[in-house]
């Protein structure tokens, strides 16, 4: 076994797997993601002794085991699943194990210590909700907040709808809607069917009631971080982001009609395998113009995203200026405009995507 100093990595992995082929696959998968196995238990007793005798202070631990390990029933894993140690049990049918499913198991387990150690934010123990849609995107003001707001406004014409400002870096939803007292209030009734939350810690019961009623809920999550970083980051903002990703059913990824935003989109698509499998993704190219350069970016966008999972929204600065002046969504100031029709189409596309992915 390696000495103590060599084990002070971000995540220390212990395995308890009897099948050598499966353990080799797990080790290879971990290595490719930058993690190493620092102890391989050959029995339940061996595993238990190692867990008891660890002396690494603040290290993060993950135990990956299978029931085929001799003597594994002697280990009560409930005693060890805490703020420092996460437990991953592989499925009985090892034939179903692949790289994506293993990565998702590990990612989910690594989030658990954050919840044990510092239980924050809403829905820490709730299942994934079909009604939750997260809006994320690139840096450089691609229009995430405006899209979240106008999508929620269109939904509110037919359903009970909530919109949540979960952007920890630049929360602006309350200001866009003319609410300047967000320091005193965390909940704003915008219309009969639309409610804005800026902090759920004081409104969780009301939020849960909306879930129970089947309300549509749109979450402005801000700039998309690296998923792997969000999982292991102990800061409050990263923990909240990771928790939302445990609950949402659909992501809307917003890119701007600029070259740097296309590069960020391409990187996100390349790394989308890090996301939980059950999350549906829809892509938006926002603020597209009529120039030759913008048309070229549109063609690149359409080539990048999967067929049927993207939408181009043209720029309409006049309509957005009026909306900001009146502290209202586009539907209130330009109800017959092309940009309003884009949001109606977006809502229909998202609802169709949710139906398809729920089957």
The CATH architecture to which 132-357 belongs is 3-Layer(aba) Sandwich (3.40)
Q: Give the integer Cα–Cα distance in Å for 329 and 323.
A: 6
Question: How far apart, in whole angstroms, are the C-alpha atoms of residue 61 and residue 236?
Answer: 20
Closest CA to 50 of 69, 24, 31, 28: 69
Kindly give the pairing relationship between strand 216-223 and strand 187-189.
Answer: unpaired
- pLDDT, position 8: 41
Nearest one of 57, 186, 146 to 328, comparing CA atoms: 146
Is there a contact between 89 and 39 (Cβ–Cβ < 8 Å)?
no
Q: Which two tokens stand for residue 319?
A: 């309509």
* 5-117 under CATH 3.90.550.10, yes or no: no
Q: What is the distance of C-alpha 295 from the center of its chain?
A: 30
Domain ranges of the chain: 5-117, 132-357
Is residue 321 a contact partner of residue 334, using CB atoms and an 8 Å limit? no
Rounded to two decimals, what is the model's pTM?
Answer: 0.64
Q: Quick one: pLDDT at residue 177? A: 83
Alpha-carbon gap, residue 3 to 8, rounded angstroms:
10
Same fold, 5-117 and 132-357: yes
State both tokens at 311.
């939408």
Query: For residue 294, what pLDDT is reported?
Result: 93
Q: Is 190 exposed, middle or buried (0-12, 13-18, 19+ CB in 10 A)?
A: buried
Burial of 192 (0-12, 13-18, 19+ CB in 10 A): exposed
Taking the chain (359 residues) in runs of 10, the rounded mean pLDDT of each run is 44 87 81 76 91 72 89 86 81 69 71 43 47 85 88 94 84 78 72 86 68 85 67 55 77 92 88 74 93 93 92 91 88 93 94 77
DSSP string over 202-231:
GTHHHHHHHHHTT-EEEEEEEE---HHHHH
61 strand-pairing partners: 12, 85
Query: Whose CA is closest to 123, among 212, 38, 62, 192?
Result: 212
Report DSSP letters for 150-204, one per residue: HHHHHHTTTS-EEEEE--SS---HHHHTT---TTT-SEEE-SSSEEEES-GGGTH
**pLDDT at residue 183 in the model:** 58
d(CA 342, CA 30): 43
């Amino acid at each position: 076994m390696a000495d103590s100093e060599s084990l002070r990595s971000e995540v220390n992995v212990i395995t308890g797997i009897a099948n050598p082929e499966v353990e080799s696959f797990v080790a290879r998968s971990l290595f490719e993601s930058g993690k190493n196995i620092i102890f391989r238990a050959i029995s339940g007793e061996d595993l238990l002794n190692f867990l008891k005798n660890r002396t690494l202070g603040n290290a993060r631990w993950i135990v990956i085991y299978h029931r085929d390990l001799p003597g594994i029933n002697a280990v009560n894993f409930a005693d060890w699943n805490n703020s420092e140690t996460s437990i991953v049990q592989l499925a009985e049918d090892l034939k179903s194990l692949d790289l994506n499913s293993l990565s998702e198991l590990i990612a989910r387990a690594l989030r658990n210590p954050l919840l044990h150690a510092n239980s924050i934010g809403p829905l820490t123990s709730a299942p994934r909700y079909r009604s939750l849609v997260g809006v994320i995107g690139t840096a450089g003001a691609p229009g995430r907040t405006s899209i979240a707001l106008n999508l929620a406004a269109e939904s509110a014409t037919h359903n009970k709808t909530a919109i949540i400002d979960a952007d920890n870096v630049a929360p602006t939803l309350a200001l866009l809607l003319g609410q300047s007292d967000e320091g005193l209030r965390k909940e704003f009734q915008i219309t009969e069917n639309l409610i804005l939350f800026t902090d759920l810690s004081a409104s969780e019961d009301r939020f849960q009631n909306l879930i129970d009623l089947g309300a549509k809920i749109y979450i402005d999550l801000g700039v998309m971080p690296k998923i792997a970083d969000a999982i292991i980051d102990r800061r409050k903002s990263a923990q909240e982001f990771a928790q939302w990703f445990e609950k949402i059913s659909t992501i809307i990824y917003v890119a701007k009609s600029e070259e740097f935003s296309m590069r960020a989109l391409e990187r996100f698509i390349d790394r989308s395998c890090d996301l939980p499998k059950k999350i549906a993704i829809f892509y938006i190219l926002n603020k597209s113009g009529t120039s030759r350069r913008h048309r070229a970016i549109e063609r690149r966008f359409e080539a990048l995203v999967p067929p049927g999972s993207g939408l181009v929204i043209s720029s309409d600065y006049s309509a957005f200026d009026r909306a900001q002046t009146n502290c209202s969504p586009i539907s209130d100031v330009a109800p017959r405009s092309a940009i309003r029709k884009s949001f109606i189409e977006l809502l229909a596309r998202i609802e169709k995507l949710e139906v398809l992915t729920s089957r």
